[in-house]
Chains A and B, each alone.
Chain A
Amino acid sequence: MAELDRSRLQDPAYMAQRIAACEREIQKGIIGQGELIRQVILAMLTGGNVLLEGMPGLGKTRLVSTIGKVFDLSFKRIQFTPDLMPSDVTGTNIIIKNEQGSSFSFERGPVFANLILADEINRATPKTQSALLEAMQEHTVTVGNVSHVLDEPFFVLATQNPIESEGTYPLPEAQLDRFMFKLLVRFPTREELKGIVALTEGGSEPVIEKQMDGEGLLAARALVNQIPIAEAVMDYLLEIIMETHVPNPHIREGASPRAAQALIRAARAKAFIEGRFNVSFQDVKEAAYPVLRHRIIPGFDAISAGITEDDIITRILEAKTALAGR
């Protein structure tokens, strides 16, 4: 692999190339799921957390560990269970006895890593789930009276099983809003499945090489935040958010202001990853689905009619097509 040239961390074109290289490297270890990989990288470029929803065995853990390798980030996996305690996540103060006597020392929990996989997050109790809230939003952990700053970059990739609802604690809206993206992990196609089987059963595992590091990722994130947005594109983006608050029998609750921030960042990151330094209408459109699908609470009419969040977003985008000048 080509070593990251630290003198060019401020070079947008170079950094865009490195991110593209990361994407390609991840795709070596994950068969299919190209769109999912792209979305996760987008979230990482903007410092957002991701909620992955999909059936078990679709390679979510593999994806996260591969990302950890490619970006050279420390990776921790937390399996959420009903008996998981908050301190099991954040860490706790323990008594240390030594020659000087006894003292409390903070034992870091698994949350102290760059990349956290919160597996089946909806199986833990709300108390434990909320232990992640501060970490996700503030990037700090408070135990007792002491706040501990998490290492940067910090990402939480949580998974939840959409089918099994027994013994689960659905994430409250407030916590959902803290995830930048909600990504749907789809079942692979037959060809992709064949590739997965060939890769994992009998075949030699591909060597995943580091393409980037935490510092590079933070530099890339800083560049993404500078990408200019035209007024028309910004208006379009805001109109989409506002449209979720227009009385609509299919929408019970619309997107929060945080959704607008997330949409701007995601659209910028998408432009950056495509080697562009401006945000297009198409960027906004494509980013709208992962950003809004968990922030729009469907109404009874939508649920009873089988209308999904994505359907609602599609309708909003269609309604605002004229604004996009197309």
Chain B
Amino acid sequence: MEQREFLKIIKACRRRMYIADFLKSSVSALSIGAGTGILFQIAAFFVPLYYADLYMMLAFILAELSVLAVMVVRRTTMEQAALRMDGFGFEERIVTAYEHLDQEGTLVGLQREDAMRQLREHRDKIHIPVMPSLKRTALLFLLLVCSVGLSLLPSAAKERAGELHRIREEAQGKEDEIEEFMEALEQLEQEQLTKEQQEALQEMMESLESSLSEYQQAVSEEMLSAASQKLDYKYENMSSQLSNLMQELQSGAGVSIASADAMQEIAEQLAKMQEGKLARGDGDGKGQGGSNGDDQMGQQKGVGDGSGQGGAGDRNGQNGQSGDGNGGGQNGQGEGSGSGEGRGTGSSGTPHDYVSVPNAVADSGNLTGNIGSHETSEYFRAQNGLNWEGEHTSLEAVIGSYEQNAYEGIAAERYPSGMEDIIKEYFASFNN
């Protein structure tokens, strides 16, 4: 056997060892990756973890990348290969011969010849398996199946994670939008404005900041919806305020045209956005449509000149108890009957003209909790006071109050003739 052939055999062995090492390490690393993925998936059952699947994939990729890095750094050497070959009964002949390949001497030469002879005669004994053990492979397969299976299993936490993600995405869009407006407002030349006008602008900024914070803290649909409603309201207000401001500026002397144009642009943009929102509300007509729905609350907060706006609800009250969105009255009055969900926005000239919005009213399909069990009813408190928690009032008390008002109305002849019996019949139905 020539020296070249001797080296060739060792190289072939080294290659096999390298592949075997790579496969073995890969299986081990992927098993660790799968194990980590399983941990992520298990965690996703208990805590909202929207990216659990992505993390699992990342664990796999990282594991494999680390194997590749290790394999590049820690390459199998010829000595290691020779030593491995010696493990098949060559009694360290091959590694000794390899290490002393460039040396001369009687003993060294004899040793080399002996090693090559042994290798020639017993080469068939060398068997370096390339594939990883069945046990390891089976374990990896099992872990993979478990991780994929767990990722497919639904759970409340996963649903919640999805919901949170959607909320976050939506909120992020809004945050960007608000930041854009705030930037536009900041860029306005305020030197030409009066103190009152500057204060108004500052209030707008603060108001937008408050909305930004609300979006940042939004963790539920309700909070997001409340924030959106509040923002719509603010947009509407700001649009009119900016239009007024622009007109004031245009009528004044020495006003920068650029500044007025910028205001005009912002106002138009806000108005457009508001219109877009309203258009969507009109089309929906279910629940969202009502505005200034609760006339009592509208009066409470909508001081004086509240002008209710909103989409047109169903007059017959299928979808909104207070769903009449015309709200044309000064007090934002609305009336309606029936069941459904109604939300309204009262507006007024004063910046903090808020209304309360119940979480769910009327239509039993939209109610949460049992009618008779008030403890389970839900309400929420929104930041910055647009919404606040309602009081728990029993259905009987509500009906009783309405009934009393109705009978007082009948006594005071406030209703058209012929309606008394209908009203009485209506309330009598609750007593049965």
Which residues from chain A sit less than 8 Å from chain B, CB to CB?
10, 12-13, 223, 226-233, 276-282, 325-326
Contacts and interface: CB of A to CB of B under 8 A. Distances in A.
Which one of B95, B105, B115 has the greatest number of beta carbons of chain A within 10 Å? Answer: B95
Contacts of A227: 107, 111
Interface in B61-99: 79, 83-84, 86-87, 91-93, 95-97, 99
Contact of A232 (B83, B108, B111): B83
Interface range on chain B: under 10, 10 to 19, 20 to 34, or 35 or more? 20 to 34
10 contacts: A12-B110, A228-B100, A228-B108, A228-B111, A230-B96, A230-B99, A232-B83, A232-B95, A276-B114, A281-B92
A278 B94 CA distance: 9
A83 B130 CA distance: 71
A233 B107 contact: no
B92 A280 contact: yes
A325 B115 CA distance: 18
B99 A231 contact: yes
B93 A276 contact: yes
Given A13-B110, A228-B96, A277-B110, A325 B83 contact: yes
Interface of B: 79, 83-84, 86-87, 91-93, 95-97, 99-100, 103, 105-108, 110-111, 114-115
Nearest to A271: B91
A229 B115 CA distance: 13
B106 A325 contact: no
A236 to B, nearest CB: 10
A85 B395 CA distance: 123
Across the A-B interface, give the 4 residue pairs with the lowest CB-CB distance, nearest first.
A278-B96, A277-B111, A280-B91, A226-B107
Given A10-B106, A228-B100, 8 more contacts: A226-B106, A227-B107, A232-B83, A233-B95, A233-B96, A278-B93, A325-B83, A326-B87
A8 to B, nearest CB: 12
Contacts of A13: 110
A232 to B, nearest CB: 6
A52 B339 CA distance: 110
B91 A278 contact: yes
Contacts of A282: 91
B79 A232 contact: yes
A235 B14 CA distance: 21
Contact of B107 (A232, A277, A281): A277
Chief secondary structure at chain B's binding surface: helix
Chief secondary structure at chain A's binding surface: loop
B115 A278 contact: yes
A136 B295 CA distance: 119
B79 A231 contact: yes
Given A230-B96, A276-B91, A278-B115, A325 B110 contact: no
Which one of B84, B87, B96, B105 has the greatest number of beta carbons of chain A within 10 Å? Answer: B96
A271 B100 CA distance: 17
Contact of A279 (B84, B96, B97, B115): B96
B104 to A, nearest CB: 12
B120 to A, nearest CB: 16
A223 B96 CA distance: 17
Contacts of B110: 12-13, 277
A280 B90 CA distance: 9
B77 to A, nearest CB: 11
Nearest to B93: A278
B244 to A, nearest CB: 85
A233 B111 contact: no
Contact of A230 (B84, B95, B103, B105): B95
Contacts of B114: 276-278
Contacts of B97: 278
A276 B114 CA distance: 8
A326 to B, nearest CB: 7
Nearest to A228: B100
Contacts of A231: 79, 99
A2 B92 CA distance: 33
A282 B96 CA distance: 14
Given A12-B106, A228-B107, A230-B95, A325 B100 contact: no
Contacts of A279: 92, 96
B87 A325 contact: yes
Given A12-B110, A13-B110, A226-B107, A232 B87 contact: no
Nearest to B108: A228
Contacts of B105: 226
A122 to B, nearest CB: 38
Which one of A12, A229, A230, A326 has the greatest number of beta carbons of chain B within 10 Å? Answer: A230
B106 A232 contact: no
B92 A233 contact: yes
A193 B73 CA distance: 61
Contacts of B111: 227-228, 277-278
Contacts of A233: 92, 95-96
Contacts of A276: 91, 93, 114
